[in-house]
Structure 1
Amino acid sequence: MRARSRTDRARALRTAAALAAIGLLAAGCSGSSGTGGGSGGGTTTLVAYTGQSGDYQINFNPFSPTQIGGGAAIYEQLFFINKAGSGEPEPLLGTDYSWNDDGTELTVTLRDDVKWTDGEAFTADDVVFTFNILNEHQSLNSIGYDGTAEATDDTHVVFTFDEPAFTQGPDVLGNTFIVPEHLWKDVDPETDVMENPVGTGPLKLGEFKAQAFTYVANEDYWGDVPAIKTVRFLSLSGNTAGADGVASGTIDWQTGPVPNIDKVAETYPGYDSLTVNQSQMALLTCSNEELGCAGPQTDPAVRRAIYHAIDRKQLNALAFQNTATEISPTFVLTSNQKQMISSSIQEPVAAETADVAAAAADLEGAGWAKGGDGIYAKGGEKLSVTVEVVTGWTDYITAVQTMAQQLKAAGIELKVSQSSWNEWTEKKTQGKYELAIDSLYQGSAPDPYYVYNNFFATTATAKVGKTSGNNVSRYSDPEVDEAIKALRRLPQDDTAGRQPYLDTIETAIVEDMPYIPILTGGTTSEWSIKKFEGWPSADNLYAVPAVWSKNDFAAIIKQLKPAS
């Protein structure tokens, strides 16, 4: 992921100290036949780094926007859906499912041999309880679930919807973590951090410390018990420390930039890598004045001007080692969904180079005038906005610093504010920011509906000061909301029927631009092939290999084994 470069001796010493700590931590959590920092030949401890900058704050609540883990590894879904594959649900807690003809009833068959890690039996009542949480706590209902769940017996659940809900299927089946009723009935799911999580997954929480926490294999798992017995997640200072850990062989799996990212196998003996382009990078904006957002970025003309002022070709070269790819302002993933972009969109793919004239037209048309210092102003307010970025995320820091220079040429002042991941996350979810650099991730299946439902629906947001769902922009448009609801009622193979609603959403979000498209990020992961085998590959992309992708992480851990 992203990080600050080091140029002075003090920072170099901190990096050296961090690497020494990695070795100590890995040795301290060794399996019976090897350590995370040693050579191959039986190593059962894997050291992972997500790009976490700053101490971990314990939170294993799978519904919480500030969770640090638990989803899929500890708490499981009904099915696993590989967004990089066919999108067909693969059995987990569920074994089979079927829709009625009109899409108002989804029946799921569950496993009958599953126990929670405290020994209690898993039943259909746990599934019903979990989905009732979403109904009763809309701030946690990021999937927009509006059904009714009923257990017909211990191994069958029927989900009923007032209207056809085909598109809710992948979210219900593959994107909701099931929690135990017997423990959760007495907690507040909006505030409890679940320090001692109990799940059904392949891993359990081991030891937690602010600098690192461990998962251990669930030896009573209903499926094949993982060959990886311990996974240790580290908190370091950012990408530079992560890259140094790969170079020294003390980190076994990370997702983030390293020098010579296009030649990992040659540069880092014993490692391999894979780049997947699915996360759509954007400048998130607190856009909605009616919900309490404040700042120049609440003006759509400012957001569009920023979009036009970005030189994406330069940005890709300087910040992302040319691993990023094109992005559509509609947030339709162009690699496999391009046919869903509305024909009314004049610029279906964002321009590679800056268009300062277009930026000026947007601003001046909205009453902004350039001042003597070359920066636009309106009503005595200077067009100056602050972008939030996590300390240590070198690629994102380079990106926003580069954009600051690019936007200055268009008369826009961009200031950069660095903070810990925890502070950055709180600012976004509370709406206490102007801009933030992040990515809009793909949803439960390869379809833009899930991006729209997760990030643009009114149900996924909240007033400033209250914790939002994924819609941290606070964007709200009744026509977009109605179109999202309409898409839920249609089968995903009804191309002709769905397109008018996609047209409505895409036209609105390109005009309003609550999330300013940057590039589709090349998510590159590096891993040790000297110590472990079974990793995804271009020929067998059975999961997206980003270590921070909760569902995929669990799928990969179950496939890995010590290298022979």
Structure 2
Amino acid sequence: MPVSLGRTRRTRIAVIGATAVALLVAGCGGSGSGGGSTPPDTLVVPGQSGDQIRNFNPYSPTAVEGPGMIFESLFYFNLAGPGDPQELLGTGFSWNEDGTELTITLREGVTWSDGEDFTADDVKFTFDLVASGGVPNTIGFSGTTEVVDPAQVVVRFEEPSYMDAPQLLGKTWIVPEHLWSTMEDPSRDPVAEPVGTGPYTLGDFKPQAFTLTANPTYWDGEPAVANVRYDSLSGNQATTDALAAGEVDMFSGPVPDIANVEENYPGYQVITIPMNQIVLDTCANADLGCEGPQTDPAVRRALYYAMDRDQLNQLAFQNTASAVSPGFALPERDAAYVSGALEEPTAPMSADLGRAEQILTDAGYTRGGDGIYQRDGERLALTVTVVGGWTDYITALGVLTEQYAQAGIDLTVSQSSWNEMSDARARGDYELMIDSLYPGPAPDPYYIYSYFFGSQNTAPVGEPSDTNYARYSDPEVDEAIDALSRLNPEDTEARLPHYDTIQARIEQDMPYIPILTAGTSTEFHADKFSGWPTADDLYAFPATWSRPDQAAIYKRLEPVAE
């Protein structure tokens, strides 16, 4: 049968959560027209905050770069627009009739950046490495791979596995067997001298700035952007200053007065795409070791109803965000999957303090003399973690603190570094955390459910979870996710009852408290480079932190003639 989309059981994309990296920091380095000294064919983009660690392992959650740029997948699936997957190292794939056998045809004539030939053996090695747990098997891949010939492999599964395809084909980074087979521990090796098939290779590296250089032997031709430089700044304000000076060429994140980017930042334009769902992560599961008032579903639902989302959107997100569904299907993209069984198809935009009060009083809470609810002598006080420098999230939490005080809930904001936040989130060492749920490898809400709500993606507090940071576990949800994993994604009628089950359960339990659907805004230097995604040609999801989308964009850009 023809190309179909694929399944994921244990799943974490090899990128960090969407808004997370978006706001880490933007780069600084001159532009062709802004008074800096950067050559006109060098693109300056965000790097990580603070000293950047020389880690280019595409399977490491702390890699500074690599996926898409140095290490390629077989295909590129565009989340932002319709169409078939784009061929990369693969040129075609097909399922057998029952979804248990995936045949993949590979591109011939490709070489690794060290001159060695790329073959089907590299694909089998990579797939086997993932299946064996030699690198984190975040996609739950359990297939067996057979090399048919140097340009074809067959992957066999014990059960229908349609939903594996986008993750296996679009988010599994193919690595060179001749180098990786000699690594003592591929999951921990920093791959300081990466060898890939991608459009870029590693150039200079310093903790405050490193450069990827166009690969002259790239199978699709050497990119016109000769260098991509990743610089470290200390937060959104430093990034905004660099943008105003023409010293950063692409930034995915908020800037002041975003509606007037072209006026405020001459030579720049902006594009905003709704994609990632902003949430309050909660460590929700007391049975797995979570502690705090947020382990009570009543508290989580009260937090949900006490939000004034219109005010949050205006004051923190410059009205670039939009409605979010408590069932976590995107209201527009996934409209066909938004369950009719939900109490509300989208979260209320105004606060419902009466509903929040009723929920808390029904759960045994009473107002104390200071106006804060309490139960069993304990005040309803919560701490929420945010990364320092994430100005829109920090602003949002300031607004929420005031809103929750009116609802009788005491919220304390704690700022941390990205590494501290990421580690605490993975280990469950938090009460609340402002974050976002990122999409999967294809436009289907299945992946959100598998990533963030599936029991197989979590662990007891103190042990690192994959992507289910809330430690959520529900047998009905797990059964529905498992059933969806075996269904052909083209069979919408058969899939809908399982989506209904999942959405009804997570609306009631609310382990991630929905805030808004983020509008991912990316400012780009249109006077320096041409070929950027537009509303009419959304060939890739435009975000510097989204991999391999960033590579799809950088390959398309061309320097504007001086």
| TM-score strictly above 0.5 | yes
| 1:365-444 matched pairs, under 5 angstroms | 365-444=362-441
1:450-489 alignment runs, 5 A limit: 450-489=447-486
Aligned to 1:100: 96
Per-residue CA shift, 1:459-499, capped at 9, x if unaligned? 22222222221221221222211211111111212111001
| Structure 2 match to 1:85 | 81
Flag structure 2 segments of 5+ consecutive residues without an equivalent: 1-18
SS of residue matched to 2:411 = strand
1:125 pairs with one of 121, 124, 133: 121
Return the letter of the residue paired with 1:96.
G
1:161 CA displacement: 1.5
CA positional deviation for 1:2: 8.7
Aligned-partner SS, 2:333? helix
Contact residue 150 and residue 158 of structure 1 kept, 8 A: yes
Aligned mate of 1:43, from 40, 43, 50 = 40
Q: Distance in 1 between matches of 2:428 and 2:394?
A: 21
Equivalent-residue separation in structure 2 for 1:37 and 1:515 (angstroms): 45
Q: Is the deviation greater in 470-479 or in 79-88?
A: 470-479
Return 460-469 or 515-524, whichever deviates more.
460-469
C-alpha displacement of 1:239: 0.8
When residues 514 and 2 of structure 1 are mapped into structure 2, their CA distance, relative to the original with a 3 A threshold, is closer
Matching residue of 1:357: 354
Whole-angstrom distance in 2 between the partners of 1:2 and 1:449: 21
SS of the equivalent of 1:112 reads coil
Give the Cα–Cα distance (whole angstroms) in 1 for the partners of residues 79 and 114 of structure 2. 32
Q: 1:418: how far off? A: 0.8
Q: CA deviation at 1:138?
A: 9.2
The 1:387–1:190 alpha-carbon spacing in structure 2 relative to 1, beyond 3 Å, is farther
SS at match of 1:206: strand
Please tell me whether the aligned partners of residues 287 and 475 of structure 1 are also in contact (alpha carbons under 8 angstroms): yes
Determine if contact 1:2/1:256 at 8 Å carries over to the other structure: no
* Map of 2:16 onto structure 1: none
Q: How does 1:156-555 map to 2 (within 5 A)?
A: 156-185=152-181, 186-555=183-552
Deviation of 1:22 after TM superposition, in Å, equals 3.4
8 Å Cα contact 1:202/1:225 also seen in 2: yes
Do the aligned partners of residues 35 and 114 (structure 1) sit closer, same or farther apart at CA in structure 2, a change above 3 Å counting?
Answer: farther
Deviation at 1:166, TM superposition (A): 1.4
Q: Sort the Cα spacing of 1:433 and 1:103 in 2 relative to 1 into closer, same or farther, 3 A.
A: same
Corresponding residue for 1:22?
28
Q: Give yes or no for the alignment of 1:144 onto 2:150.
A: no
| C-alpha distance 380-129 of structure 1, shift in aligned 2 (>3 A) | farther
Q: 1:138 to 1:279 in 2, by over 3 A?
A: farther
CA contact (8 A) 1:449 1:484 kept: yes
Matched letter for residue 143 of structure 2: G
Distance 1:235 1:467, change over 3 A: same
Q: Please tell me whether the aligned partners of residues 53 and 392 of structure 1 are also in contact (alpha carbons under 8 angstroms).
A: no
CA-to-partner distance for each residue in 1:274-331, whole Å, 9 max, x for gaps?
0001111111111122222222211111111111111100000000100001000111
Structure with the higher fraction of residues in helix conformation = 1
Deviates more, 1:335-344 or 1:510-519: 335-344
Q: CA deviation at 1:66?
A: 2.4
TM-superposition CA deviations, 1:114-171 (whole Å, max 9, x none): 2222222222222222222332329823323232222222211111112211122111
Decide whether the 8 Å contact of 2:385 with 2:414 is kept in 1.
yes
> Equivalents in 2 of 1:458, 1:96: separation in Å?
33
Three-state SS of the structure 2 residue aligned to 1:509 is helix
Residue 554 of structure 2 aligns to a residue whose secondary structure is helix
Question: Partners in 2 of 1:514 and 1:127 — Cα distance?
Answer: 37
Q: Residue 314 of structure 1 aligns to a residue in which SS?
A: helix
Moved more, 151-160 or 52-61: 52-61
Equivalent pairs: percent with the same residue?
54
For the residues of structure 2 that align with 1:381 and 1:117, how far apart are their CA atoms? 61
- Superposition CA RMSD, Å: 2.2
3-state secondary structure, aligned to 2:212: strand
Shift of 1:505: 0.9
Give the drift of 1:401: 1.2
SS in structure 2 of the partner of residue 550 of structure 1: coil
After the TM superposition, which segments of 4 or more aligned residues of structure 1 sit over 3 Å from their partners? 34-40
Question: 1:497/1:37 Cα in 2 relative to 1: closer, same or farther (>3 Å)?
Answer: farther
Gaps in structure 1 of 5+ consecutive residues: 4-17, 28-33
| Comparing 201-210 and 444-453, the one that deviates more | 201-210
- TM-score between both structures, scaled by the size of structure 1: 0.91
1: CA distance, partners of 2:34 / 2:189: 32
How far apart, in 2, do the equivalents of 1:515 and 1:552 lie?
A: 26
The 3 A distance-change label for structure 1 pair 54 and 309 is: farther
Alignment correspondent of 1:63: 59
Check whether the contact 1:328–1:349 (CA below 8 A) recurs between aligned residues.
yes
Residues 91 and 439 from structure 1, CA distance in 2 versus in 1: closer, same or farther, beyond 3 angstroms? Answer: same
1:486-516 CA-to-partner distances (Å, cap 9, x unmatched) read 1111121211100111111111111111111
Code of the residue aligned with 1:159 in structure 2: it is V
Q: Report if the CA contact (8 A) 2:93-2:104 is conserved.
A: yes
Decide whether aligned partners of structure 1 residues 54 and 415 sit closer, same or farther in structure 2, where only a CA change above 3 A counts.
Answer: farther
Residue of structure 2 in register with 1:113 after alignment: 109
Contact in 1 for aligned 2:283/2:431 (Cα 8 Å): yes
CA gap of 1:138–1:372, structure 2 versus 1, over 3 A, is farther
| Cα contact 1:115–1:121 (8 A) shared by 2 | yes
Return the alpha-carbon distance in structure 2 between the equivalents of residues 485 and 87 of structure 1.
27
Note if contact 1:460-1:468 (Cα within 8 Å) is conserved in structure 2. Answer: yes
How many residue pairs get aligned? The number is 539
Output the CA distance in 2 between the equivalents of 1:216 and 1:383: 53
Between the aligned partners of 2:135 and 2:454, the Cα distance in structure 1 is 12
Is the CA contact (8 Å cut-off) linking 1:65 and 1:469 kept in structure 2? no
Kept in 1, the 8 Å contact 2:33–2:528? The answer is no
Distance 1:67 1:287 in 2: 28
The aligned residue for residue 14 of structure 1 is none
TM-score, length-scaled by structure 2: 0.92
The amino acid that maps onto 1:161 is: F
DSSP 3-state at the match of 1:324: coil
**Greater CA drift, 254-263 or 147-156:** 147-156
Report if aligned partners of 1:48, 1:251 keep a CA contact under 8 Å in 2: yes
Q: What does the per-residue CA deviation read over 1:249-277, in whole Å, with 9 as the maximum and x for residues that have no partner?
A: 11111111112211211221111110001
